[in-house]
Amino acid sequence: MKIHRTFILLATVQLLIVISEGWLIWDLLKETPSEFATSSAVASAALFKPVPINMQSLTEQPLFQPTRKPYMPPTNPELIEVAPLPAPINPPILTGIILDSSKPLVLLENNEQKTTSFIGVGDQFDGWTIKLIEKKSVVLTKPSHDDIELSLPSLQLSVPAILH
């Protein structure tokens, strides 16, 4: 109990010291605001003197060029041939899979014509050949492209609200 009282006494003394120091500073600022403002303005003017900028030196020695010389376009530029971009892959959309022990089937939809077809392994759809049918995906192949794997979209079911 004695330690608790000592702690409260010390905390109170410290709080009174902080309040009295703050009060003294407030009185000082309240009595001499113009002198304080003038002295801070003089101090800031001494610290932040304007520096003259030579604009011609900035154009002759640009800051953001590694050589600090103005940019000069090449006089004899080399033309580089760029290979044409490959045609965009536009695979069908996988909309369903039927796993049957005799012959599994997939339901594919054409992107542009919006037509659908049930097809099995080895069958073709829009130039793509079904290579493999799995539980949630299908592998398609095309002579001019690498094999691609299409997956069924995941279902995002919401939890029904409980009515009271």
Question: Can you give the CATH number for the domain in which 143 is found?
Answer: 2.30.30
Domain presence at residue 82:
no
Domain presence at residue 157:
no
Verify that 1 and 58 share a domain, yes or no: yes
Predicted confidence at residue 28, as pLDDT, reads 57
First and final C-alpha spacing in the chain: 54
pLDDT band at 149 (very low <50, low <70, confident <90, very high): very high
Question: What is the DSSP pairing of strand 116-119 with strand 93-98?
Answer: unpaired
More confident residue, 89 or 121: 121
Predicted confidence at residue 91, as pLDDT, reads 84
Predicted confidence at residue 139, as pLDDT, reads 94
Domain presence at residue 45:
yes
Q: Taking the model in full, what pTM does it have?
A: 0.44
For residue 68, give every residue at least 6 positions away whose Cβ sits within 8 Å of its Cβ, in sequence order, or none. 61, 62
More confident residue, 16 or 36: 16
Q: Provide the domain count of the chain.
A: 2
Angle between helices 33-47 and 2-31 (to 10 degrees): 80
Domain presence at residue 83:
no
Distance CA 161, CA 104 (A): 37
Secondary structure letter of residue 8 according to DSSP: H
Domain presence at residue 132:
yes
Distance CA 109, CA 12 (A): 80
Matching residue, tokens 């794997």: 149
Domain presence at residue 133:
yes
Domain presence at residue 80:
no
Verify that 6 and 70 share a domain, yes or no: yes
Predicted confidence at residue 64, as pLDDT, reads 79
Please report, as a single letter, which amino acid is at residue 84.
P
Verify that 12 and 62 share a domain, yes or no: yes
Verify that 20 and 59 share a domain, yes or no: yes
Q: Tell me what the mean pLDDT of segment 103-119 comes to.
A: 88
Q: Is the predicted pLDDT of residue 138 greater than 90, yes or no? A: yes
Verify that 70 and 103 share a domain, yes or no: no
Q: Is the predicted pLDDT of residue 135 greater than 60, yes or no? A: yes
Predicted confidence at residue 45, as pLDDT, reads 57
Domain range for residue 12?
1-74
Distance CA 126, CA 116 (A): 11
Predicted confidence at residue 31, as pLDDT, reads 55
Distance CA 49, CA 46 (A): 6
Q: Is the predicted pLDDT of residue 43 greater than 70, yes or no? A: no
Distance CA 43, CA 69 (A): 39
- Of 18, 46, 74, the residue that ends a domain is 74
Domain presence at residue 87:
no
Residue 57: other Cβ atoms inside 10 A = 9
Q: What percent of the chain has a predicted confidence (pLDDT) above 90?
A: 15
